Chains A and B, each alone.
Chain A
Amino acid sequence: MREQFFPAFDWHTVFIQPWSEYAVNSFWIVLMGFLVAGTCGLVGCFVILRRMALVGDAISHSILPGITLAFLITNSRDTLPMMLGAVVAGVVTVALIEAIRYTSRIKPDAAIGIVFSSLFAIGVILISVFADEVDLDAECVLYGELGFIPLQDIAYFGEIVIGPEPIVRMAIITLIAIVLLFAFFKEMIVTSFDSGLAASLGINPTRYQYGLTLFLSIVIVSSFESVGVVLVIAMIIFPGATALMLTDRLPIALVLSTVISGAYSLIGFHLATWLNASIAGGMTVIAGIVFGIVWAFAPQRGLIATFVRNRQIMEGSALNFSREEK
């Protein structure tokens, strides 16, 4: 069984071949993985701080009916209508969750669950009913596949070849994310940590909440063709959570999360090549492993550091006690 399940590890096919024979393809795949994980990670830091992690999960599921409807209405698979449908679906999701919360005694967690599962169900039904017209594959929405990125249409800038279209698209989103981050950094920090202070400073916390939600929907929809709806959540939560285990400073955490995302992409790609598995899945497994390592060994917050510190405190207090008794 073991021989069958885990392919034999061959240094050449796993590390040499991707960077010699298929170097271009590998480059695009790793770059796309990095762009996706990096952008998701930047947004994710704020998502985690605002305890919106599961709202992200909800949005990633409920964009399915959004893009399906956008497709049925415009009958095209262009980026713009898809993006629009997804963003509308994201906003509707958040609005519905808030509506249930404010009109009833249902707690936010249950509201999230009800809204996203219902919307997802509507999406699957739409796809099934209009199966002949909709060229959407629900399985593909769930998985996504980074491996197909190099096969996509190449974008040209005039005569100059830039790269596969999805990568160009994702790069633009990444750029927008970075610009927005620099433009609204202070406001995002204040509204994330102390909405009362933000309000007293004249910054409307709700507006930034909705802004973040909107941008989150955009990032999710542009990412999930390569990683799928569920793993997009991994890319949103893992880099930020791992970085926040290592530092208390948000700017450092943002930089760290980007570096970590790069590691996911590079190592995950090689893992997937070795195991002949989904690349997004490989990236997520690496993300989990990296988090596990950081969880154990982080200098301040890690399991080992905490354990040692607790023991020192215990010993210290024991010492004090014995001294007092004497």
Chain B
Amino acid sequence: MRELLPHAVSNGSKQRLAFSIFGILTASTIAHAAQIGKISETSWTEQALDFLSLEEPVVRTAVLGTLIIGFCCGVLGSFLVVRKLSLLGDTLSHAVLPGVALGFLWNASKDPWAIFIGATAAGILGVALVGWIKQTTHLKEDSAMGMVLAGFYGLGICMTTMIQNMAMGNKSGLDKFFFGQAAALSSGDIQLLGIISLITVVLVLIFYKEFIAISFDTGFAQAIGMPVQVLHYALMALLTFAVVVSLQAVGVVLVSALLITPAAAAFLLTDRMHWMLILAAGFGMLSGVLGAFISYLSNNLPTGPLIVLGATLIFVLALFFGPRHGFLTKTLRRKRQRQRIALENTLKSIFYLCENSDFERREFVVAELAVERNSNLPATEREILNLVEADMAEWIVDSNTPSMSGQARFRLSKEGWYRACEIVRNHRLWELYLTSAASYESDHVHDDAEEIEHLIGEGIVKRLEDRLQNPIHDPHGRLIPRRDQVIA
């Protein structure tokens, strides 16, 4: 692009050169809208069929390439994500640039092996520098990563601009490292990709325990005599390999997405490392094929960014709908729990009403429950309506009482009484446990029991009963309802 400068100056054209923010449009603009197919006449359905039939060798190479890249990045990215080093992938992908340029200079061509070796050396040097800066200065990890990322990248840009200004043969291939071009993968690249992923899989399988140990508890790994530093740099070397081979397909900026996003999606779905690795590899491959497929449908859809968006889509789905950690599922679960607790509190108050009448009365009016619950009439009525909906209570229809007067009568169903007794039993058993086993004063136990009564299940209640030898009275002298004795 700089060769344009003297040209523009010599023209001396003072007219508006479209040079405002981005106006530097030159003929040397790279084809960053790189996609696999270049056929524009066919409709997208035909293109889709064409892609799915996998007949064209270009399609086959691209699909194979993105599959391998997705797999590799998913597996290695998982280790980065659990170690909270996600952005090291980003640092690496930028830091390899001077190595790429150096490898290119080696014999002034796009020799995959020369570039690969140069890039790997630069990447490992970058990671080592991050560690060294962090160790020897007071600067934090993020600053160290930022400096290595930008410093190496700046050096790389210097070198690539110098190469572009040099009179040399085929240098067009270098641009691909910025935006990536899955279509440009050659069979030689695929070979390299295959070898790297094979090495990755074998090493991860052999050193699985060690990698997990250094990822989750470095101190422990060190204590049992693992060569932590060696393992760390082995992992980083594998990572650098993966980044370097992926660069050509998705480009510098987006390769970090392939490392982070599928692994993060997997992290949301499981708590087990081996599942995370499998899921992340699967997501990586899925997003790779998805991106390649969509970009094949139309003429100016770039592959790399679409692969990244495919991964983002998977992540967003996991973020919202993940069965355990998903946002919607979590919100729903919390809401249900809140409703259950509200229900149980109402039941408990009704039990108290019954108890206050020496277990004589079974029917109550809304107003007295409102007094017991320290609440207003409409809210109390709503609570009873919720109980009725859950089949735990029923209204006693009486045409004489005006509606909304608080005089409407209701009673609990058998199920309702059972749950009410259960919750009061939980409460009083816990109070008794605290006073007898944990030596609490009897006036300090209520609030604690108020929380726990909703949470302890059948098993814990049983153990409490055994431990307290099936007690009859709670610390305040009131009866503990027994399991078999239902008031209905």
**CB within 8 Å of B: which residues of A?**
1, 4-5, 48, 51-54, 56-57, 61, 67, 77, 79, 82, 100, 103-107, 109-110, 112-114, 117-118, 120-122, 124-125, 127-129, 131, 135-143, 145, 147-148, 151-153, 165, 225, 228, 230-231, 233-234, 236-238, 241, 244-245, 272, 275-278, 280-285, 287-288, 291, 295, 301, 303, 306
Contacts and interface: CB of A to CB of B under 8 A. Distances in A.
Helix, strand, loop or mixed for chain A's interface? helix
Interface string B129-161: 000010011111011011101110111111101
B146 A57 contact: yes
B151 A287 contact: yes
Contacts of A153: 16, 19-20
Given A143-B1, A147-B2, A112 B87 contact: yes
A151 B157 CA distance: 22
Would you list the 5 A-B pairs with minimal beta carbon distance, nearest first?
A284-B154, A117-B257, A234-B150, A121-B305, A281-B158
Given A61-B253, A288-B154, A241 B81 contact: no
A280 B150 CA distance: 11
A129 B32 CA distance: 11
Nearest to B138: A301
B290 interface: no
A230 B256 CA distance: 14
Given A51-B140, A51-B142, A109-B85, A225 B22 contact: yes
Contacts of B309: 118, 121-122, 125
Nearest to A296: B136
B293 to A, nearest CB: 15
Contact of A113 (B89, B143, B178): B89
A238 B147 contact: yes
Size bin of chain B's contact surface: 35 or more
A264 B427 CA distance: 71
Contacts of B305: 120-122, 124-125, 128
A128 B300 contact: yes
8 contacts: A52-B142, A54-B90, A110-B264, A113-B256, A124-B179, A138-B179, A139-B175, A152-B20
B29 interface: yes
Contact of A114 (B8, B138, B175, B312): B312
Interface of B: 1-2, 5, 8-9, 16-26, 29-30, 32-33, 81, 84-87, 89-90, 94, 105, 133, 136-140, 142-143, 145-147, 149-151, 153-159, 161-162, 165-166, 168, 175, 178-179, 253-254, 256-257, 259-261, 263-264, 267-268, 300-302, 304-306, 308-309, 312, 315, 319, 325, 327
Contacts of A285: 151, 154-155, 158
Contacts of A284: 150-151, 153-155, 157-158
A128 B146 contact: no
A272 B158 contact: yes
Given A110-B260, A125-B309, A285-B151, 6 more contacts: A53-B145, A103-B319, A114-B264, A135-B22, A285-B155, A288-B155
Report whether over half of chain B's contact residues are helix, strand or loop; otherwise say mixed.
Answer: helix
Contact of B159 (A61, A112, A277, A288): A277
B149 A233 contact: yes
Contact of A135 (B2, B25, B319): B25
Contacts of B267: 105-106, 110
A131 B33 contact: yes
A245 B259 CA distance: 32
Contacts of A56: 146
Given A117-B257, A230-B94, A139 B142 contact: no
A142 B178 contact: yes
Nearest to A6: B162
